[in-house]
Structure 1
């Protein structure tokens, strides 16, 4: 860790916090590709970069999504029924995703991340022109979908907003409440996934100093400091911006991240 990297991570945290409050994402869609690009430049082994990026991203999501969730709760943007039935699934799925990520060879993790995000981008783009809405499925089915969200999100180091927001919006949850509920779920996914990455990281060799398992603590703190300050700004934007514009911003953002990571 040096001052140049610290400054970059502070800026990164400010962007992450704004996007978390605005779109209900935990910031992993920014943090993972950013750390995957930055860490090798500062001496981190290529074999460890993606695991560190995923784990540190999830750890930062605990803070950014938690802060965003509190702001949305104050603004009345959280659906308690949705949270009640999604959470059991996302906890289990988050743990499973961390185990799968540790099993996959390191050279395939960036491509897998890009494919997951591209699939999420396509899903969101299709939902923009779709006006159909249906009731939420049964509590059991909602929990199963939560498990899928948790597993894929942990595997990609993201908070799950890119899956839970379209799911909730499609099932009749108003967009602002979908974003707020997603922030709560994202915090829980991050906690579950981070525990798994810490466990697996205790067995890894060559980790940088001040690491907790695969979580690189200096990067986590730098991102967290500024992200906590900007989530409120993003949450206020989510309250004032119209739903179609939110969906378009979300979809374009996902496409950009996917292609930047793929190539």
Structure 2
């Protein structure tokens, strides 16, 4: 247990630094790290991916609170849009968790590997999209935002992420300013993480071969270790980000993420 906790402290440092320096969600770092770690600790193979995804979501609860406060103080969070998205997100996150519970662990691992490769390719090939501020916004109504939230929540819970890689592209398509898109995405990360964590805890409650320290599929020792370091490191690296070669770091991380995703996808 102590060995695992120390490794999770290191994972938290890496996740926090990449989140602060590159603006990446921690889930894309935490999930593959936990998959390899849990396999190394001989956790039941069919539970490894589910526990990695669930534990990743539980860590996002803490980190998203800080992000929401920062964006809210800057005045970039458009709360009416958040609430309408959140209505679908909560339902989607519960659906994603129970879909993951239904899946075989190997299938979920391969799907995450494919998702990681797509994120890596996006980082390598797609530049940051500039929104034409002269063009009118095309934000859907309550029903459209609710349906979008349902899709975002399902995908985010399925892959253990805060939803930024899904929410930001959608909001930029709606022609919102990038600062607003990122802020709304950060605010949506909290209901994704809360709903997904609760759903995974409930979905895994019936499992009888979980390791000690697990709450359903959420492995609490790993949550504690990651949060202890990811939260402060994200703040520190964000302050230092202007001194770091972010473009180079982004390309290196994208290549590493693609290789990890390929390994997970191939099994």
State the TM-score, normalizing by the size of structure 1. Answer: 0.85
Match of 1:136 among 127, 132, 138: 138
> Which consecutive segments of 4 or more residues in structure 1 shift more than 3 A?
18-26, 117-127, 129-134, 233-238, 245-256
Q: State the shift of 1:123 in Å.
A: 5.3
Residue 229 of structure 1: aligned partner: 232
2:64 maps to 1:65: yes
Alignment of 1:31-180 (within 5 A): 31-122=30-121, 128=127, 131=130, 135-139=137-141, 140-180=143-183
Structure 2 counterpart of 1:259: 259
Deviations 1:136-185 (A, max 9, x none): 33122122111111101100111101111222233333323322221211
Root mean square deviation of aligned Cα = 2.8
- 1:184-217 deviations in Å (ceiling 9; x for gaps): 1112101111111111111112111011111111
How far the C-alpha of 1:64 sits from its partner, in A, is 1.4
* Pair 1:209 & 2:217 matched: no
Q: Is the 2:78–2:184 Cα contact (8 Å) retained in structure 1?
A: yes
Classify 1:230/1:26 alpha carbon distance in 2 versus 1 (closer, same or farther; 3 Å): same
Cα distance in 2 for partners of 1:29, 1:262 equals 14
Change (3 A) 1:74 1:247: farther
Greater shift after overlay, 123-132 or 90-99? Answer: 123-132
Structure 1 unaligned blocks of 5 or more: none
Query: For the Cα contact (< 8 Å) 1:114–1:262, is it kept in 2?
Result: yes
Distance 2:168 2:253 in 1: 14
Q: Distance in 1 between matches of 2:191 and 2:72?
A: 15
Deviation at 1:18, TM superposition (A): 3.5
Q: Deviations over 1:195-251 (max 9, x none)?
A: 11111111112111011111111110011111221233355568x79xxx9899778
Aligned length: 258
Taking the aligned partners of 1:96 and 1:44, their CA distance within structure 2 comes to 25
Distance 1:254 1:83, change over 3 A: farther
Change (3 A) 1:190 1:47: same
| Aligned residue among 196, 200, 205 for 1:197 | 200
- 1:259–1:89 CA distance, 2 compared to 1 (3 A): farther
The whole-number CA distance in structure 2 between the counterparts of 1:22 and 1:82 is 27
Equivalents in 1 of 2:210, 2:231: separation in Å? Answer: 27
d(CA) in 2 for partners of 1:249, 1:180: 23
Whether the aligned pair in 2 keeps the contact of 1:210 and 1:218 (CA below 8 Å) is yes
- The whole-number CA distance in structure 2 between the counterparts of 1:248 and 1:96 is 37
User: Partner of 1:60: helix, strand, or coil?
Assistant: helix
Q: Which runs of 5+ in 2 are unaligned?
A: none
